[in-house]
Amino acid sequence: MKTIRDYLDEAAERTPERIAQQFYQGHAWVTRSYGALRDRVVRAAGIVQDLGIVPGRQQVALMLDNGPEWQEIYLALAGSGVAVVPLDPKLRPQEALHILRDSEAVAIFAGAKQQGTLGQVLGQLPHLRACVWVGAGTALAAEMRDCAHYVYETLIARLGEACEAGRAWFDRNRPAADSIASILYTSGTTGKPKGSMLSHGNFTSNVEASVRQVGFYASDNFLNILPLFHSFSFTANFMLPLSLGGCCSFVRSVKTIAEDMRQLRPTILLAVPLLAEKLYARITGQLKRNPAARILLAVGLRAVVAHKIRATFGGRLRLIGIGGAPTSPNVLRGFQKLGIPVLEGYGLTECSPGVAYPKLASYRIGTVGNVLDNMAYKLIEPDATGAGELCVRGPNVMQGYFKNPGATAEVIDAEGYLHTGDLARVDDRGNLTICGRRKALIVNREGKNIYPEEIEQVIERCPLVKDVIVLGYHVAGETGERVGAIIVPDEEALTALQSEAVAAKWGEAMAVRWRAAVEARLKGRQAGLPGTRRLPASLGPARMNERVRDEVMRLCREQLADYKLPRKVDLRAEPLERTSTMKVRRVVYEGALDETAGKDST
């Protein structure tokens, strides 16, 4: 079985002149060949050697926005047998702290924009001894005090002059197929993210099965929009073209996608549903404003319109692949009607991540295609419709969760099957349809996984909150889910707030009477409160509810990434329903926050 290092070496040796990367730098588009990419990787490997990193025994974190540096640093690390811990650059300090601490990362390559986040946590990470800043000046490195700091560009330039030692070190340190390439953090039942250990063989076996299933070629140019720390983008936008000797093209930003596509001329666009929906909306909006295009569609000349649409995408686009979350069937059919081939697949981080992809010639909208040919699967406890929990086994299934054998045993059974937690059924052609999830996992329109327990732990720290459940909810006309929270306020804490305000306004004697009346009311002995008619609006129930919401959102913004923030906070007086073991009965609240057509948002 091949390694990721094999992919790089073979591409650089076989076709060193072939374009590996396209990116925007210094106000111009730049191309980099496979030969040049490997030279950059060798230099970066020299940095890894200078830092004293021990391959196979130590982990290094990578916290960067998309760009050529992300790929070359990853290849230098994984290509020498060092396990890489990719982090979302948008994580809050406490989120980054947990992953860096749990993974025992001894160094981190980070973007200059992450200075504020990492500056708050580096002093709490005894394992972490070095930080290499990418895209930063020497002044930034000089400002930091908690560990050794370096500037990536300075080190690369220095090693370019004398990199033979680094080259020899890189040649000596080659990973095996079972060496851990990435530790990708994904949350679990405790709400704290768990690190999925994915080997070189996990990734390469998944890549090769995906190539056989869908059909990708060395001539393909992959447009890289999705963040590389996400397993879908990592395998599809990075590993796939690397294995083929194809090209990975980076857009400047999400705002310049249309313009960049005309310049970069991709053949493959891989997207999450939100991106696909925005592209489709832009196309349909243009068609509505173009009478000639509407006439051509009306008289059956769809191919002419499709040709013009593809021209706006650079003229070479042959496939849009969607993953990460369910996509609206209307969007999928819409692309097909416009002559733009589109597929929707299925996977999860623990499977590197691909599990099922359709074949273009036989794709059925609403399914995610066949399970990959090097995987086995079973459905357990199927219901009357044939839907059961999907369990899969194969060379792409993770080695386990880092330092967490108990959590590993919960999801991988004695036969080696990974229990996905997703309900699925199979049609007469072997196509999977994903019906839902057994877990409480929330998947938003961008395909990001959001774990309710993590958000609940933050909200529970609010002194005004007695109980909480976080769940996903649907909005009519949208795919994916939004994050919502049902909260039971702590009435005693609210009463204390009101009492303090009463004392400040009318004196402590009135506050004592106020507290006694509240206690009597709570015990059912009294209906009214003293001075209620004179109570200002700032102390009334509506304002108290606002205080709860404000405090909850303040805590969430401090400790959670933006996409995890609750979009709806529903306050309720009645206690949450719980089981005999005091677990909240989530099934009771499924759909409780959904917004159907005609129902106002709250």
Q: Domain check: are 472 and 560 in the same one?
A: yes
Q: Domain check: are 577 and 446 in the same one?
A: yes
Tell me what pLDDT residue 137 has: 64
Q: Answer whether residue 276 shows pLDDT above 60.
A: yes
By the 8 A CB rule, do 44 and 74 touch?
no
Lowest-confidence pick of 68-82, 142-156, 271-285? 142-156
Q: Domain check: are 137 and 228 in the same one?
A: no
Amino acid sitting at position 544: M
Q: Domain check: are 222 and 303 in the same one?
A: yes
CATH of the domain at 336: 3.40.50.980
Task: Output the average pLDDT for the chain.
Answer: 88
Q: Domain check: are 338 and 486 in the same one?
A: no
Number of domains into which the chain is organized? 4
Task: Give the separation between CA 238 and CA 263, rounded to whole angstroms.
Answer: 20
Phi, psi of 263 (to 5 degrees): -80, -45
Q: Give the gyration radius of the chain's Cα atoms.
A: 27
* Segment 30-39 mean pLDDT: 97
By the 8 A CB rule, do 426 and 379 touch?
yes
pLDDT tens digits, residue range 244-266?
999 999 999 989 999 999 999 99
pLDDT tens digits, residue range 443-494?
898 888 787 878 988 998 898 999 999 999 999 988 889 999 999 998 878 8
Amino acid sitting at position 429: R
418: its two tokens: 């990974």
Q: Domain check: are 478 and 523 in the same one?
A: no
388 belongs to a structural domain: no
Tell me what pLDDT residue 61 has: 98
Q: Domain check: are 485 and 573 in the same one?
A: yes
Tell me what pLDDT residue 150 has: 92
What's the N-to-C CA distance of the chain in angstroms?
53
Q: Answer whether residue 510 shows pLDDT above 70.
A: no
* Segment 217-226 mean pLDDT: 97
Amino acid sitting at position 318: R
Q: Which residues of 328-339 are buried (b: 16+ CB within 10 A; e: fewer)?
A: beebbebbeebe
Q: Answer whether residue 68 shows pLDDT above 80.
A: yes
Q: Answer whether residue 497 shows pLDDT above 80.
A: no
Q: Domain check: are 447 and 566 in the same one?
A: yes
Q: What angle do CA 345, 349, 350 make, to 5 degrees?
A: 115
Tell me what pLDDT residue 517 has: 63
pLDDT tens digits, residue range 538-586?
556 777 889 899 999 999 999 999 999 999 999 998 999 875 445 687 8
Phi, psi of 395 (to 5 degrees): -70, -10
Q: Which residue has the higher pLDDT, 392 or 510?
A: 392
Read out DSSP for 530-568? TTGGG--GGGSHHHHHHHHHHHHHHHHHHHS-GGGS-SE
Candidate ranges 28-32, 121-125, 535-539, 574-578; pick with highest mean pLDDT: 28-32
The 3-state DSSP class for residue 66 equals: coil
Tell me what pLDDT residue 579 has: 56
Task: Give the separation between CA 391 and CA 169, rounded to whole angstroms.
Answer: 41
Closest CA to 547 of 482, 505, 498, 601: 498
44 belongs to a structural domain: yes
334 belongs to a structural domain: yes
Query: What are the start-end ranges of the H helices in 215-256?
Result: 231-233, 240-244
Tell me what pLDDT residue 417 has: 98
Closest CA to 128 of 152, 151, 110, 155: 110
Q: Which residue has the higher pLDDT, 337 or 343?
A: 343
Task: Give the separation between CA 56 and CA 528, rounded to whole angstroms.
Answer: 69
Tell me what pLDDT residue 143 has: 62
Closest CA to 226 of 70, 356, 99: 70
Tell me what pLDDT residue 160 has: 66
Tell me what pLDDT residue 540 has: 61
The 3-state DSSP class for residue 592 equals: coil
Confidence class of residue 188 from pLDDT cuts 50, 70 and 90?
Answer: very low
* Segment 101-110 mean pLDDT: 97
* Segment 209-222 mean pLDDT: 97
Q: Answer whether residue 40 shows pLDDT above 80.
A: yes
Share of the chain above pLDDT 70, in %: 88
- Do the bridges between strand 376-380 and strand 388-393 make them parallel or antiparallel, or are there none, so unpaired? antiparallel
Lowest-confidence pick of 21-30, 91-100, 202-211, 522-531? 522-531
Q: Which domain holds residue 340?
A: 215-347
Q: Domain check: are 128 and 221 in the same one?
A: no
Tell which of 297, 325, 347 closes a domain.
Answer: 347
Q: Domain check: are 81 and 45 in the same one?
A: yes
Tell which of 347, 362, 377 closes a domain.
Answer: 347
